């Protein structure tokens, strides 16, 4: 009793996990996706409401601007509006053209609508043309509608643009060709 102190009971043996030394992590690239032998058909575009899609197509586009300190040489073609405060030497084809007080164009102009407060030297063809009091135009104007404010300078010819007549009306007004008698063999008596 008074001898050695009693040992606590031994715990049952626990399974030990073997710890393996860790290798440095390696990065491997992801495998490339396999090429699809047959292309997939594209899905049809989603149809928008007709009025919505028309409004999207007709959304207003900001006007292009040729600044007062700019000079361009060559032809300009656009489906939209052009505002000119600088100078252009060449052909201009746009939907709507505005020439500001400091604007100048030397060349031919073709547009739906033209408003002039600056200077044009050359021919102008448009459905509607308005010459403001500060306008200076030296050249022929071909138009459907022409408005000239008092004080505007215009030297040239004003030619009324004639719309082509409808095909039916043109057929009625067109002269009919004169028919010639067909050549017939002539028998000669001897």
pLDDT(88) > 60: yes
pTM of the model: 0.56
Residue 30 lies in a domain: no
Residue 10 lies in a domain: no
Q: Which of 73-77, 95-99, 151-155, 163-167 has the lowest mean pLDDT?
A: 163-167
Residue 67 lies in a domain: yes
Domain holding 97, by residue range, is 62-163
pLDDT(163) > 90: no
Q: What is the mean pLDDT of the chain?
A: 75
Q: How many domains does the chain have?
A: 1
pLDDT(67) > 80: yes
Residue 89 lies in a domain: yes
Residue 135 lies in a domain: yes
Q: Which of 87-96, 130-139, 159-168 has the lowest mean pLDDT?
A: 159-168
Closest by CA to 97, choosing from 85, 168, 89, 183, is 85
Whole-number Å distance between alpha carbons of 105 and 99:
8
Residue 22 lies in a domain: no
């Amino acid at each position: 009793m008074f001898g050695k102190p009693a040992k606590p009971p031994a715990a049952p043996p626990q399974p030990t996990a073997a710890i393996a030394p860790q290798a440095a992590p390696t990065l491997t690239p992801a495998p490339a996706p396999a090429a699809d032998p047959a292309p997939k058909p594209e899905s049809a575009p989603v149809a928008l409401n007709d009025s919505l899609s028309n409004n999207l197509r007709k959304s207003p586009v900001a006007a292009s601007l040729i600044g007062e300190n700019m000079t361009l040489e060559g032809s300009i073609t656009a489906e939209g509006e052009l505002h000119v405060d600088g100078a252009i030497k060449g052909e201009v084809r746009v939907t709507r053209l505005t020439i500001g007080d400091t604007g100048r164009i030397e060349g031919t102009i073709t547009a739906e609508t033209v408003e002039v407060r600056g200077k044009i030297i050359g021919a102008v063809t448009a459905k509607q043309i308005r010459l403001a009091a500060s306008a200076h135009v030296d050249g022929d104007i071909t138009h459907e509608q022409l408005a000239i404010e008092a004080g505007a300078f215009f030297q040239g010819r004003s030619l009324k643009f004639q719309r082509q007549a409808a095909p039916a009306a043109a057929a009625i007004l067109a002269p009919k060709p004169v028919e010639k008698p067909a050549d017939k063999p002539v028998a000669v008596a001897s």
